[in-house]
Amino acid sequence: MSVFSPDLLKDEVALVTGGGSGICKGIARAFVAHGAQVGLVGRKADRLEAAAAELSALGPGRAFALPGDVRDYAAMEGVVDALLERAGGLHIVVNGAAGNFLCPSAQLSSNGFRTVLDIDAVGTFNVSRVAFDKALRDGGGCILNISATLHHGATLLQAHASAAKAAVDATTRNMALEWGPAGVRVNGLAPGPIAETEGMARLLPPGMGDRLRATIPLRRFGRIEEIANAALFLVSGAASLVTGAVLVVDGGASLPQAMSVALTSPG
Ligand code: NAP
Ligand code: COA
């Protein structure tokens, strides 16, 4: 049962990159559950079609599969055109498409570093730029960039993703500055470790779950629905004055003293 009004996003049209899986599929599910029409972007057309059918069956909104690679600007122009034609508008963009893997900087190839920057940072720019040009510039709306907390300090074996998410956060603030006068809010959402996601499967070494959990002040990993709830808030009228912000949703995992929580007992 949602804490938000069931028709929170009625008459809204959203584009969610990375919406075929994991956290961003959860965000798309929440948008559809609150009445929105949602275009799902990713490279794997079959997975997108399955996700769109699943979410549309749940309703009351609808989801469409819009395959494409966020690194390809022309492809994103086609995706936005297709969504405008099918849904009649575009008001909300969620940039969630991302790539990551563990690799020491000394072994990472230049192309490996560039690939993650391209997907996360250039992809976020491409989709935002196209959406602004074709829809948001005239009608207003909001953009939500899915970030992380890797770059708040430094994260072992993730120089590529840390640099990419730092660029995403910078883009969030700069676009908020430039596009605010057009009535476009641009925010970020930085999840901590979220259970049952590809990100966790790739980045958490086997057997390390309990040790990592012990360092989180709330002593648990997040759930996809908790990130979706934060996304619903940020794209809704409840956040009408919020722009240029990056909301950390991580149970306190990235607080500077979080590691010492493992040494304490409750209270
Ligand atoms: P995920 O399921 O692997 O989501 C990534 C999505 O991006 C996939 O649906 C993938 O679809 C899409 N994608 C990748 N490259 C793309 C490209 N070039 N063009 C279009 N789509 C592309 O992973 P997740 O763990 O749910 O992560 C979702 C977001 O949350 C990411 O931004 C991630 O950085 C962020 N995050 C996750 C965690 C966590 O604990 N999981 C923590 C902090 C931040 P295709 O393969 O079909 O292209
Ligand atoms: N360790 C080190 N380097 C790696 C790597 C790994 N695990 N995986 C890929 N690379 C390097 C490749 O070797 C290649 O560099 P090279 O040309 O110098 O050899 C470069 O990265 C690009 O790899 P490629 O497989 O061609 O990229 P892609 O565009 O097909 O896929 C990835 C992008 C690599 C990010 C892929 O893992 C992906 O699609 N991820 C999406 C899902 C995801 O990461 N989810 C978690 C989100 S937090």
Q: What is the CATH number of the domain that holds 183?
A: 3.40.50.720
5 within some domain: no
6 within some domain: no
Contact 14, 39 (CB under 8 A): yes
Q: Which pLDDT tens digits describe the chain residue by residue (267 residues)?
A: 899 999 999 999 999 999 999 999 999 999 999 999 999 999 999 999 999 999 999 999 999 999 999 999 999 999 999 999 999 999 999 999 999 999 999 999 999 999 999 999 999 999 999 999 999 999 999 999 999 999 999 999 999 999 999 999 999 999 999 999 999 999 999 999 999 999 999 999 889 999 999 999 999 999 999 999 999 999 999 999 999 999 999 999 999 988 888 888 776
- Per-residue pLDDT, 261: 86
Q: Is 194 in the pocket of ligand 1 (CB under 6 A)?
A: yes
236 within some domain: yes
Q: Is the dihedral of CA 148, 149, 153, 158 positive or negative?
A: negative
3 within some domain: no
Which protein residue has the closest C-alpha to ligand 2 atom 28? 115
Distance 48 CA to ligand 2 centre (A): 20
Which residues span the domain enclosing 123?
A: 13-263
Which of 15, 16, 23 has most ligand 1 atoms within 8 Å of its beta carbon, as the pocket-test mutant?
23
21 within some domain: yes
108 within some domain: yes
2 within some domain: no
Which protein residue has the closest C-alpha to ligand 1 atom 2? 22
**Encoded tokens for 1:** 């049962």
Counting the structural domains of the chain, the total is 1
Contact 98, 163 (CB under 8 A): no
7 within some domain: no
- Per-residue pLDDT, 64: 98
Contact 42, 21 (CB under 8 A): yes
